């Protein structure tokens, strides 16, 4: 009987260890790859990129929804905490912070009619914790046509991602 139980226990233990190793490592590898690809593609660190129209030719990672305008900020906390704020937007808008384990740290609604400090978030010491010293901030705004996209480019000028001391 022992000759069947021991291999079964080893097999089940191997599955358990492999499963948990995969769950803990795969998100880190995916987010590291996304961070590196975005930074290689001229996405600024601790500053938001200018929104651009989405096409299948200008996407490096996943082809997102073509009716949303995306602004991305690569957050590097190695020099201290970072202040992130999404500007007021007409219609749908959201600010999401992802840490390097692909966990959502926080989501903020930018479409609220009353523009308040609730659209701001402090990442790092004294604010929301992230795993490691890097994160990705993503702002999504509804832009179903060129006219709304041009409006969103103006709204995005109020976005901020940078050191707390320069926060305006």
Return the C-alpha torsion angle 51, 159, 138, 63, nearest 10.
Answer: -10
Decide which of 120 and 28 is more confident.
28
The pLDDT tens digits for 81-100 are 888 888 888 888 888 999 88
Integer angstrom CA distances of residue 146 from 59, 71, 155: 18, 16, 14
The dihedral over CA atoms of 51, 58, 99, 16, expressed in degrees to the nearest 10, equals 160
The domain limits of the chain are 1-168
Q: Are 162 and 46 in contact (CB under 8 A)?
A: yes
Q: Which two tokens stand for residue 23?
A: 């769950």
How far, in Å, are 13, 22, 79, 140 from residue 71 at the CA level? 44, 30, 22, 7
30-83 pLDDT tens trace: 888 888 888 887 788 888 887 667 666 666 555 567 788 888 999 998 888 888
pTM, entire model: 0.76
- 153 pLDDT above the threshold of 60: yes
Strand order in the sheet with 104-109: 68-76, 134-142, 93-99, 104-109
* 117 vs 63 pLDDT, higher one: 63
Average pLDDT of the residues of the chain: 81
C-beta of residue 161 within 8 angstroms of C-beta of residue 48: yes
């Amino acid at each position: 009987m022992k000759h069947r139980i021991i291999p079964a226990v080893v097999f089940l233990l191997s599955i358990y260890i492999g499963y948990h190793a995969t769950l803990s490592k795969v998100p880190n590898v995916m987010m590291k790859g996304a961070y590196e690809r975005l930074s290689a593609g001229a996405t600024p660190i601790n500053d938001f990129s200018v929104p651009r129209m989405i096409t299948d030719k200008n996407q490096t990672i996943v082809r997102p929804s073509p009716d949303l305008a995306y602004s991305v900020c690569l957050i590097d906390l190695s020099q201290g905490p970072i202040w992130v704020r999404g500007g007021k937007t007409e219609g749908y808008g959201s600010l999401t912070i992802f840490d390097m384990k692909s966990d959502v740290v926080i989501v903020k609604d930018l479409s609220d009619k009353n523009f308040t400090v609730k659209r701001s978030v402090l990442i790092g010491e004294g604010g929301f914790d992230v795993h490691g010293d890097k994160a990705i901030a993503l702002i999504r705004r509804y832009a179903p046509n060129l006219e709304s996209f041009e409006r969103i480019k103006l709204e995005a000028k109020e976005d901020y991602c940078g050191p707390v001391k320069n926060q305006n």
